[in-house]
Amino acid sequence: MPMVTGETVKQVLRDLYGYEIADADAHSIANSAGAMLTLATHLGSIGIAGIEPPFGYPVLLAEATRSAKSRS
Amino acid sequence: MSTPFQELLDFDVATLADKLRAREISPVDVTEAYLGRIEQTDASLRAYITVTDTLARKAAKKAEAEIAAGKWRGPFHGIPIALKDLVYTKGIRTTGGSKILTDFKPDHDATVWTRLNRAGAVLLGKLNLHEFAYGITSSNPHHGIVRNPYALDRIPGGSSGGSAAAIVARSAAATIGTDTGGSIRIPAAFCGCVGMKPTWSRVSRYGVLPLAYTLDHVGPITRTVRDAAMMLQVIAGVDRNDSTSSRERVPDFAAGLERDISDVRVGVIRELNDGLSDDVARSFNTALETLRSLGATVDQVTIPSLPMAGVMNGIITWAEALEIHEEWMRTRPQDYGDDVRRILEIGMMTPATSYIRAQRARARTLSESIAVLSDHDVLVAPVSAIVAPKIGTTQILEASGDRVDVVAMILRFTQPFNTTGQPAIAIPTGLSPEGLPIAMQLIGRPFGEQEIIRVAAAYERARAALAPPPEIA
C-alpha cells in the first residue's frame, strides 16, 4: 500500500512542478492521493492482463495529418 | 403571431419547431420571450455568464426572414438555445467558468456550435458552470453560485449546472452540456430535466475546453426526451477537426420514440442499487414498476468491476486535467477557486503507471457491461443516491450514523459510464416529498443511443408530469 506523507507531497510538488504548498495542505493532499493510489494498485486485480491501453495508431496518424494541414 | 410571450415559454423544442415552421409564431417573439425570462430569473439563478441579446435578436430576425421565404433549415431553425460556457464561440467570450479565461474570446467556433448555428439555432448566451467543469456543485467563485430552480438554497448539480437550471427555469429552450464524470446527468437529475450523454466520440469535442480528453462527452440538456433526440441529431457525427470523433453511422435518433417497449429487457445494475436514500430508492423502484407495466422485462444484472470504474475515472481525470492546467497552476494558482486548485494539486501526485493502468482497466468494465447487454437491451440505475444537497454541504449523516462524502455519493453512479464511454440518458422519475427532483439513468450499448431514447421516451409518456418549480422572482 502506498504511504504518501505530507513531506512527500511537498517534495514532489516542489521538485517536479516548482510548486510550493503549506504543510496542512500537503497533509490533506497526501490523504487523498494515498487513498486513490491504494485503490489504483487494486486495478490490476480485476483482470486486465493482456489488455492494451486504448491509444490507437489511427488517432495518432489522423492528428499528425490534421496538424500538418493546419501548418501549411 | 399573437401567442402571448409567457405561453411561448411553455412549448418544448418539438412544438416550437412545428409552430415556427407553420409560421404560427415568430422566432423574434420566441427569442424576446426567452430574453425576458432570463432578465426575470437570472439575478436569482445565475445560470448565465454572458447573455448575447443583441446577437440573438439579429439571428432571430434572420430566421424569421428565412422561414418566411420558405428556407426552413430544420427543427432548430429559430429555436433559442444556450451553450455551456466552455463551448467556443468565435468572438464571444468563453470563460470556462474561470477567472483565468474571463476575457478569452476564441477565434473559432466549436463544431457543436457550428452545427447548431448552421441549423438556424438562436444563441441566447453562455451558461454558468463549475469552474473549468471540474466539480459537481456549480458554486462558481468567479461568476456566481448557480441555484436549483426547485429550491434556491440547493445546488443544481454540475458541472453543467447553468445548462440544466436554464431548462427548468425556462430561460432556454435547449442547452448543451458536457460530461466527464456525470456533468450532464447530475444537473439534469437535480434540476428535473433530461440530460443525454452520448457514446464517447459520437459528438465532436473540437472547440470544447477539455477537462479530460479521453472521458469528455458533449450532449444535450432538454425538457423532453424527444428534444434531446432532436438536438443530438444536429450535433452528432464525424468531424474532420476531431480525430477521435466516430465514423459510426448516425441513425435517426427519434425513429423509435413512439414504439412500445414490450420487447425490451432492462437490467438493473446490482452494484448501483444500494446506499440510496429512502426517497431515491422509492422513486427508482416506482420507475422500475412503470417499466414493467409497459411490458418490459426487468431483472437484476451484475458488472463486478463497476465499483472500480470510479477509481479509473478519478485517476484519468487527475492526470489529464493537470496536463491541461499545469502551466496555469505554475503561474496563476491564486486565480483558481479553492476546490479546483486542490484537486489539481492532488493530480500532481498521480504516477504515470496508475494512469496507464486505469486506461487499460476501462476495457475490463466495458467488456463486462457489453456481456450483460448481450441479453439485455438497456441497463438502468439511479443518477445519484441523494437529492440535490443544500449549497455548501460536503457531508451527509446517514441513518447508520456514518458521515458520508456528498460528492462520492453522487459520482459513483455516473462516473462508470464515462469510463466505459457508453451512452446514458438521465430522466426524471418524480419529486421527493420536499419537492426536489429525482432521476434514473438508462445506459445503452456503445452507439446504442436509439435504444435508450426509445425506452426513456416510453417511460416519459407513462410517468406523471412533474410539478413545475416554484415561481422564481
Question: In terms of C-beta distances under 8 Å and separation of at least 24 residues, what long-range contacts does B350-354 make, across chains too?
Answer: B350/A33, B350/B315, B350/B318, B350/B319, B350/B322, B351/A37, B352/B319, B354/A37, B354/A40, B354/A43, B354/B315, B354/B319
Interface test with B, best of A13, A28, A36 (most B CBs within 10 A): A36
Q: What does DSSP say about strands B395-397 and B403-405: parallel, antiparallel, or unpaired?
A: antiparallel
What per-residue confidence (pLDDT) applies to B132?
Answer: 98
For residues B128 and B131, what is the distance between their CA atoms, to the nearest angstrom? 9
Mind telling me the catalytic residues of B?
84, 159, 183
Inspect the interface and report whether the beta carbons of A19 and B346 lie closer than 8 Å. no
Does residue A67 lie within any of the structural domains? Answer: no
Question: What are the chain A neighbours of B311 within 8 Å (beta carbons)?
Answer: 36, 39-40, 42-43
What per-residue confidence (pLDDT) applies to A71?
Answer: 79
A53: nearest CB among B243, B333, B356: B356
Q: What does DSSP say about strands B80-84 and B174-179: parallel, antiparallel, or unpaired?
A: parallel
Inspect the interface and report whether the beta carbons of B349 and A12 lie closer than 8 Å. yes
- How many domains, in total, are found in chain A? 1
Does residue A36 lie within any of the structural domains? Answer: yes
What per-residue confidence (pLDDT) applies to A3?
Answer: 80
B308: nearest CB among A19, A30, A43: A43
List all residues 6 or more positions away from B430 whose beta carbon is below 8 Å from its beta carbon.
Answer: B283, B286, B287, B437, B438, B463, B464, B466
What chain A residue is nearest to B338 in terms of C-alpha separation?
A25
| Domain locations in chain B as residue ranges | 5-311+347-462
B345: nearest CB among A21, A40, A52: A21
Does residue A69 lie within any of the structural domains? Answer: no
What chain A residue is nearest to B303 in terms of C-alpha separation?
A46
Of B96, B85, B134, B177, the closest CA to residue B347 belongs to B134
Does residue A63 lie within any of the structural domains? Answer: no
Does residue A27 lie within any of the structural domains? Answer: yes
Inspect the interface and report whether the beta carbons of B361 and A43 lie closer than 8 Å. yes
Tally of residues, chain A: 72
Count of CB pairs separated by less than 8 Å, A with B: 91
Using CA atoms, how far residue B55 sits from B11, B77, B106, B274, in Å, is 23, 15, 16, 48
CB-CB neighbours of A7 under 10 Å: 12
**Alpha-carbon gap: B119 to the closest alpha carbon of chain A (Å):** 26
Residue with cell string 439485455: B376
Q: What does DSSP say about strands B48-51 and B122-127: parallel, antiparallel, or unpaired?
A: antiparallel
Domain B5-311+347-462: state its class: alpha beta
What chain B residue is nearest to A60 in terms of C-alpha separation?
B243
Does residue A70 lie within any of the structural domains? Answer: no
Inspect the interface and report whether the beta carbons of A37 and B304 lie closer than 8 Å. no
Domain of A30, in residue numbers: 1-48
Inspect the interface and report whether the beta carbons of B349 and A53 lie closer than 8 Å. no
What per-residue confidence (pLDDT) applies to A68?
Answer: 87
Does residue A11 lie within any of the structural domains? Answer: yes
Give the ipTM of the model, two decimals please. 0.94
Interface test with B, best of A20, A29, A41, A43 (most B CBs within 10 A): A43
Residue B433, all three cell numbers: 416529498
Question: What are the chain A neighbours of B354 within 8 Å (beta carbons)?
Answer: 37, 40, 43
Residue B25, all three cell numbers: 409564431
DSSP state for residue B333 in the 8-state scheme: G
Does residue A71 lie within any of the structural domains? Answer: no
Tens place of pLDDT per residue across chain B (473 aa): 456 788 999 999 999 999 999 999 999 999 999 999 999 999 999 999 999 999 999 999 999 999 999 999 999 999 999 999 999 999 999 999 999 999 999 999 999 999 999 999 999 999 999 999 999 999 999 999 999 999 999 999 999 999 999 999 999 999 999 999 999 999 999 999 999 999 999 999 999 999 999 999 999 999 999 999 999 999 999 999 999 999 999 999 999 999 999 999 999 999 999 999 999 999 999 999 999 999 999 999 999 999 999 999 999 999 999 999 999 999 999 999 999 999 999 999 999 999 999 999 999 999 999 999 999 999 999 999 999 999 999 998 877 788 889 999 899 999 999 999 999 999 999 999 999 999 999 999 999 999 999 999 999 999 989 999 999 97
Alpha helices in B294-444 (DSSP H): 306-331, 338-347, 352-372, 406-419
Residue B382, all three cell numbers: 439511479
Instruction: Give the tens place of pLDDT for each residue, A32-58.
Output: 999 999 999 999 999 999 999 999 899
